């Protein structure tokens, strides 16, 4: 090409670039701050466009502003993997052929790792999958506190303790959002049960709210920097959570100064005025005419659509609230769909599969291991009997909106055959027949689990196989069927379903070398715990289920998980049932609709806080988990015997691996306030650290204690208060196994 042509081309490009530069509006100029871009875009939008951007146009998308080149905003479930694409206005999957995903372990498993590095790895991995699917908002993590073992969605959450939940949520949030994908932290707040989930009205005092039910959300919002929140279906003090002025305006956007967008749960909006003034920014999933789940013109009838537009035109509402909503939606859009520096993401990559297996293996909790029955080794056994439906049942499908179309799923039996098949004889017996469905919103497992044998036949066959084996691996628990760890249905009791207790007892009689692997996302009654020498709490582990479990059973992975919730012996050990009112008593909301008032009479005494207060002995305590090695804790010490509340107290404790095998130990820090003007729990978790140690190795674990760790929420002052006096730092291997204490005084 002649020089003259090159010069001409260059001049033309320069001219074009200059023209573009002159005409690039601020909101499209990513050299400008997001706030400048938000204001510029807002100033260019018509009233109709402002209304359009704050509500859905399809099941999972909002329209953006096509005229201005502001793209649609696409959301997707869920917290453990990216949901398959659904039809425009349906829950039904759209049968795409390229949206199979990595199903990561349930969030209770993540919490059970007590390892914030795993939380970040988890967030990064799932964020990459959401990014690859070009989603701007991932509808997770779910972080509601585990108030009752009956809650159908405990498996989607991070356990009973606000501090552990907040720490794990923070790094999950950062991992996801590093991909330019927003999290949508849910379900804010007090969505602690699924029964009557649209009409439950928790009645909670401020101290309980601020000490138990808000901290994890506050951490996700301010430490994690979450870009969106999802309001819950339930009410709080008479107003629906998704647009509750106290939760959204006073606390989230007021006291916390949070700048993100509040998205309703799907179908959680029931009127316009409160939605306008109650701090809701985006409306999704509404049932417009109250008679059907969506209609072709549904979206214009949304509470924040024409009714709101007409309300503004009639002077019922100013545009002030609308502009705040639009700013937050624009900010969310600029952080995600209009962020041109986002990475590209990936789907079912080797890294994601490795992450799935690693998090699963780190989250499995060894609850009991008498006579070192585990790990399985060729010197000890030759024949393995695998028993139970949960050894063969795929669990990635089902359970509600977190259901997934996993690229594949390795069942426990498949994992065991792969790991042990060459050195051991392996036999399998069903043991019991539970849930033979395998379908959710059109996604099918294609397993045919039908079995028409009687309970007696199934039991006899299982007991016979157990008798003939050197070791028995029983896989049972729950399975995400209704009432067994599923959205929109709580458990009906703590008991295992399908007659499993009787079967487990029969197996324990048949063979003393019985290992029970309980697969569930919530605590269950274990009346046979004393008769069973080894018990593993395995969670819903996703694609790599069988491999992660075999890794631990074989000792390839030394278990290091600890319980993120208490294993109550029965419901009377749980404050929500002993003192609280579950599932509530009939009442009316301000429109006269039926609701269920549910006073949280147990107050702050949730989980181990209630156990301690009442000197109870649960089946297994919060924070409990064993290893294939042993650890010795040295004497805890504190760097200063006394200091002011503005000082930092550093507690140190040496931990030694006194066994023959490398392993990780979660060291837990609890704070005890020796004397307070209010009733306080015996101890509260305020730190944890997972330390990896070679045999014989010692490391010193340190914790920094500051004023917030010592404070309680004074409802009268509406402020956190650290009272002077004596405190104790309790160093524990679990909430019931305090190994060392260090006293200090705040003056
Ligand atoms: C569901 C769930 C929520 C989910 C949303 C979209 O009802 O409560 O967690 O993200 O609707 O599926």
Mean pLDDT of 539-557: 98
Question: How far is the centre of ligand 1, averaged over its atoms, from the C-alpha of 555 (Å)?
Answer: 38
- Report which ligand 1 atom has the smallest distance to the Cα of 197: 8
Choose which residue among 93, 268, 401 to substitute to test ligand 1 binding: the one with the highest number of ligand atoms within 8 A of its C-beta. Answer: 401
Question: How far is the centre of ligand 1, averaged over its atoms, from the C-alpha of 375 (Å)?
Answer: 40
Radius of gyration in angstroms for the set of CA atoms belonging to the chain, rounded to a whole number = 27
- Output the pLDDT for position 7: 73
- Output the pLDDT for position 489: 98
SS3 364: coil
Residue percentage of the chain with pLDDT more than 90: 93
Query: CB of 445 closer than 6 A to ligand 1?
Result: no
Which run of H or of E encompasses 585?
A: strand 585-588
Residue with CA closest to ligand 1 atom 6: 266
Helices 320-335 and 34-44 pack at an angle, to 10 degrees, of 130
Residue with CA closest to ligand 1 atom 5: 266
What is the rounded CA–CA span in Å between residue 599 and residue 439? 37
- Output the pLDDT for position 70: 98
- Comparing C-alpha atoms, which of 109, 106, 84, 113 is closest to residue 96? 84
- Output the pLDDT for position 288: 61
pLDDT tens-digit map of 645-690: 999 999 999 999 999 999 999 999 999 999 999 999 999 999 999 9
- Report which ligand 1 atom has the smallest distance to the Cα of 266: 11
- Per-residue pLDDT band for 3 (boundaries 50, 70, 90) equals confident
- Output the pLDDT for position 291: 42
- What does the block give as tokens for 338? 């209009």
Residue with CA closest to ligand 1 atom 8: 265
- Residue 539 per-residue DSSP state: -
Query: CB of 186 closer than 6 A to ligand 1?
Result: yes
Question: How far is the centre of ligand 1, averaged over its atoms, from the C-alpha of 265 (Å)?
Answer: 6
pLDDT tens-digit map of 327-346: 999 999 999 999 999 999 99
Choose which residue among 77, 284, 443, 486 to substitute to test ligand 1 binding: the one with the highest number of ligand atoms within 8 A of its C-beta. Answer: 77
Query: CB of 265 closer than 6 A to ligand 1?
Result: yes
- Output the pLDDT for position 4: 72
Range of weakest confidence among 126-140, 298-312, 603-617: 298-312
What own/partner pairs with CB < 8 Å and gap ≥ 24 does 90-99 have? 90/59, 91/59, 91/441, 92/441, 92/442, 93/405, 93/441, 93/442, 93/443, 95/442, 99/133, 99/405
What is the rounded CA–CA span in Å between residue 56 and residue 37? 23
Residues 6+ apart with CB under 8 A from 21: none
SS3 38: helix
Residue with CA closest to ligand 1 atom 7: 266
β-pairing, 649-657 vs 631-633, is: antiparallel
- Report which ligand 1 atom has the smallest distance to the Cα of 233: 8
What is the rounded CA–CA span in Å between residue 504 and residue 344? 48
Question: How far is the centre of ligand 1, averaged over its atoms, from the C-alpha of 230 (Å)?
Answer: 9
Partners of residue 741 on adjacent β-strands = 730
- Per-residue pLDDT band for 292 (boundaries 50, 70, 90) equals low
Residue with CA closest to ligand 1 atom 9: 401
Average pLDDT, the chain: 96
CA 717 to chain centre: 32
- Output the pLDDT for position 294: 53
- Report which ligand 1 atom has the smallest distance to the Cα of 77: 10
Query: CB of 664 closer than 6 A to ligand 1?
Result: no
Which pTM value belongs to this model?
0.96
Query: CB of 139 closer than 6 A to ligand 1?
Result: yes
Cβ atoms within 10 A of the Cβ of 677, count? 10
Question: How far is the centre of ligand 1, averaged over its atoms, from the C-alpha of 608 (Å)?
Answer: 29
Sign of the C-alpha dihedral computed for residues 25, 27, 33 and 36 taken in this order: positive
Q: Is the pLDDT assigned to residue 300 strictly greater than 60?
A: yes
Catalytic positions are: 265
Question: How far is the centre of ligand 1, averaged over its atoms, from the C-alpha of 167 (Å)?
Answer: 23
CB 360 within 8 A of CB 159: no
Question: How far is the centre of ligand 1, averaged over its atoms, from the C-alpha of 264 (Å)?
Answer: 9
pLDDT tens-digit map of 224-280: 999 999 999 999 998 999 999 999 999 999 999 999 999 999 999 999 999 999 999
Give the Cα-Cα-Cα angle 100, 106, 107 (nearest 5 degrees).
Answer: 125
What is the rounded CA–CA span in Å between residue 312 and residue 211? 39
What is the rounded CA–CA span in Å between residue 686 and residue 664? 20
What is the rounded CA–CA span in Å between residue 570 and residue 577? 10
CB 663 within 8 A of CB 558: yes
Residue with CA closest to ligand 1 atom 11: 266
Question: How far is the centre of ligand 1, averaged over its atoms, from the C-alpha of 115 (Å)?
Answer: 27
- Output the pLDDT for position 290: 43
Residue percentage of the chain with pLDDT more than 70: 97
- Output the pLDDT for position 90: 87
CB 591 within 8 A of CB 456: no
Query: CB of 266 closer than 6 A to ligand 1?
Result: yes
- Report which ligand 1 atom has the smallest distance to the Cα of 191: 8
Query: CB of 401 closer than 6 A to ligand 1?
Result: yes
- Output the pLDDT for position 379: 87
pLDDT tens-digit map of 41-73: 999 999 999 999 999 999 999 999 999 999 999
Choose which residue among 139, 189, 196 to substitute to test ligand 1 binding: the one with the highest number of ligand atoms within 8 A of its C-beta. Answer: 139
Question: How far is the centre of ligand 1, averaged over its atoms, from the C-alpha of 709 (Å)?
Answer: 33
- Report which ligand 1 atom has the smallest distance to the Cα of 187: 9
Which run of H or of E encompasses 75?
A: strand 73-76
Query: CB of 77 closer than 6 A to ligand 1?
Result: yes
- Report which ligand 1 atom has the smallest distance to the Cα of 83: 12
N-terminal to C-terminal alpha carbon distance within the chain: 82
Choose which residue among 189, 487, 490 to substitute to test ligand 1 binding: the one with the highest number of ligand atoms within 8 A of its C-beta. Answer: 487
Choose which residue among 140, 266, 287, 441 to substitute to test ligand 1 binding: the one with the highest number of ligand atoms within 8 A of its C-beta. Answer: 266
Three-state SS string across 669-738, please?
EEEEECCCCCCCCCCEEEEEEEEEECCCCEEEEEEEECHHHHCEEECCCCEEECCCEEEEEEEEEECCEE
What is the rounded CA–CA span in Å between residue 603 and residue 616? 17
Query: CB of 665 closer than 6 A to ligand 1?
Result: no
Residue with CA closest to ligand 1 atom 4: 401
């Amino acid at each position: 090409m002649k020089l003259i042509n090159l010069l001409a081309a260059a001049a033309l490009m320069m001219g074009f670039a200059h023209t573009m530069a002159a005409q690039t509006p601020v909101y499209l100029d990513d050299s400008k701050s997001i706030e400048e871009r938000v204001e510029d875009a807002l100033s260019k939008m018509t009233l109709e466009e402002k209304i359009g951007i704050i509500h859905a146009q399809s099941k999972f998308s909002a329209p953006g502003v096509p005229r201005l080149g502001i793209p649609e905003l696409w959301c997707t479930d869920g917290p453990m993997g990216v949901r398959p694409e659904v039809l425009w206005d349906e829950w039904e999957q759209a049968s795409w052929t390229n949206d199979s995903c990595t199903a990561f372990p349930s969030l209770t498993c993540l919490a059970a790792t007590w390892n914030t590095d795993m939380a970040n790895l988890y967030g990064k991995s799932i964020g990459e999958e959401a990014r690859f699917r070009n989603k701007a908002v991932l509808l997770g993590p779910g972080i509601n506190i585990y108030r009752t073992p009956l809650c159908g969605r405990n498996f989607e959450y991070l356990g009973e303790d606000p501090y552990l939940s907040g720490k794990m949520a923070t790094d999950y949030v950062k991992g996801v959002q590093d991909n330019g994908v927003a999290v949508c932290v849910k379900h804010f707040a007090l969505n602690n049960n699924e029964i009557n989930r649209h009409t439950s009205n928790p009645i909670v005092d401020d101290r309980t709210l601020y000490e138990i039910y808000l901290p994890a959300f506050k951490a996700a919002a301010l430490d994690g920097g979450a870009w969106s929140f999802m309001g819950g279906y339930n009410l709080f003090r008479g107003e629906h959570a998704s647009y509750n002025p106290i939760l959204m305006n006073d606390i989230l956007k007021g006291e916390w100064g949070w700048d993100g967008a509040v998205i309703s749960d799907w179908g959680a909006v029931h009127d316009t005025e409160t939605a306008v003034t109650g701090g809701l920014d985006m409306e999704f999933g509404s049932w417009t005419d109250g008679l059907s789940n969506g209609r072709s013109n549904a979206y214009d009838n949304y509470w924040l659509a024409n009714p709101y537009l007409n309300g503004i035109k009639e002077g019922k509402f100013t545009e002030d609230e609308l502009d705040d909503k639009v700013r937050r939606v624009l900010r969310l859009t600029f952080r995600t769909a209009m962020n041109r520096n986002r990475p590209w993401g990936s789907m079912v990559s080797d890294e994601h599969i490795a992450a799935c297996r690693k998090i699963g293996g780190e989250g499995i909790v060894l609850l009991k291991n008498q006579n070192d029955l585990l790990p399985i080794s060729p010197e000890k056994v030759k024949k393995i009997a695998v028993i139970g439906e949960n050894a063969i049942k795929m669990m990635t499908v089902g359970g509600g909106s977190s259901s997934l179309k996993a690229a594949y799923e390795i069942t426990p039996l498949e994992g065991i055959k792969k790991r042990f098949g060459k050195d051991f004889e392996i036999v399998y017996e069903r043991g019991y027949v539970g849930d033979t469905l395998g379908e959710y919103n059109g996604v099918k497992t294609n397993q045919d689990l039908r079995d028409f044998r009687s309970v007696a036949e199934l039991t006899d066959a299982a007991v016979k196989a157990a008798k003939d084996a050197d070791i028995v691996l029983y896989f049972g628990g729950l399975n995400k069927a209704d009432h067994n760890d599923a959205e929109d249905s709580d458990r009906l009791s703590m008991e295992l379903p399908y007659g499993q207790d009787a079967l487990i007892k029969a197996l324990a009689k048949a063979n003393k070398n019985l290992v029970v692997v309980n697969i569930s996302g919530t605590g269950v009654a274990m009346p046979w715990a004393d008769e069973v020498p080894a018990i593993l709490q395995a969670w819903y582990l996703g694609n790599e289920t069988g491999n992660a479990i075999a890794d631990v059973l074989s000792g390839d992975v030394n278990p290091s998980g600890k319980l993120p919730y208490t294993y109550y012996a029965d419901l009377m050990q749980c404050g929500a049932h002993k003192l609280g009112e579950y599932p509530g008593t009939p009442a009316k909301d301000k429109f006269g609709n039926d609701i269920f008032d549910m006073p949280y009479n147990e107050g702050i005494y949730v989980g181990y806080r209630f156990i301690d207060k009442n000197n109870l002995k649960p089946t297994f305590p919060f924070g409990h988990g064993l290893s294939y090695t042993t650890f010795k804790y040295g004497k805890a010490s504190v760097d200063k015997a006394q200091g002011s509340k503005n000082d930092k107290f550093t507690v140190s404790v040496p931990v030694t691996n006194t066994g023959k095998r490398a392993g990780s130990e979660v060291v837990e820090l609890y704070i005890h306030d020796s004397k307070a003007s209010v009733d306080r729990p015996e101890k509260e978790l305020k730190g944890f650290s997972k330390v990896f140690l070679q045999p014989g190795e010692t490391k010193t674990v340190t914790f920094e204690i500051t004023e917030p760790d010592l404070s309680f929420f004074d409802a009268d002052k509406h402020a956190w208060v650290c009272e002077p006096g004596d405190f104790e730092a309790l160093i524990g291997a679990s909430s019931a196994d305090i190994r060392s204490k260090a006293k200090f005084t705040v003056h």
